[in-house]
Each structure stands twice: as C-alpha cells, then as structure tokens.
Amino acid sequence: MLEAFVFATILCGFFGIIFKKNLVMKIVSMDVMSTGVVSYYVLMASREGLFAPIVSDAKNVAYADPVPQAVILTAIVIGFSIQALMLVGVMKLARDNPTLESHEIEKNNTP
C-alpha cells in the first residue's frame, strides 16, 4: 500500500513535468518526483528492519541498512542544489520575458 502511494507521487511529479507549461511548476513537479524517489529508496532500505544499527543491549534485532540512507542524504543535497540552480535560471528568464510559460518563451525566442 505504501509503495503504491510512493509510485503515485513519482508519477504525479513525472506527469507534472510533462504537462505543466509554467517553468516554476515544472521545477516543483521535479521536486515532487525527487521526493517520491527518495521515499522509495528509504522504503526499500527499511525492508530488513526499522532499527538503527547502534550498539545496544538488544540481540538479534533486524537493522535497517545504513548505506542507502547515506546515499539518499547525498541525493537530497544534490537535488536541492539543482533546484536552486534551476530557480536562478528561471529568475534570469523572467527578467527578459513577461511570462514563464514555456511555449510563450519558445515562441518569442525562435528566429
């Protein structure tokens, strides 16, 4: 059930990237899709167990794998930096164009 919601989040972001015409909405849709992918990897990493592998008195406890979690933290940071870079690009486009609709920008800048 949880996997279905995660895949629905990924698909909502994917279809938002394809069908939205506003550049800011495309960036938000990409962020939604990225959040879905991160959620999927966290869900897969917690399949083995839900406990953190910390030294404790508990024996024979199923631990969550920490390696995918570390990779996901890196993916979150990279995704944030890419989103910030795209927003700066949209700000520069907004200076020259009265609209952020992609088809209008393409129409105004084609020779």
Integer Cα distance of 22 and 100 in angstroms: 5
Q: Whole-angstrom Cα distance, residue 45 to residue 66?
A: 8
- Paired tokens of 12: 């909502």
Average pLDDT over residues 20-46: 90
**CATH number reported for the structural domain that contains residue 83 in this entry:** 1.10.287
- Range 1-21 average pLDDT: 94
The tens digit of pLDDT for each residue in 54-107 reads: 766 667 777 777 787 788 889 999 999 999 999 999 999 888 888 888 888 888
Count of domains forming the chain: 1
Structural domain boundaries, residue 32: 2-109
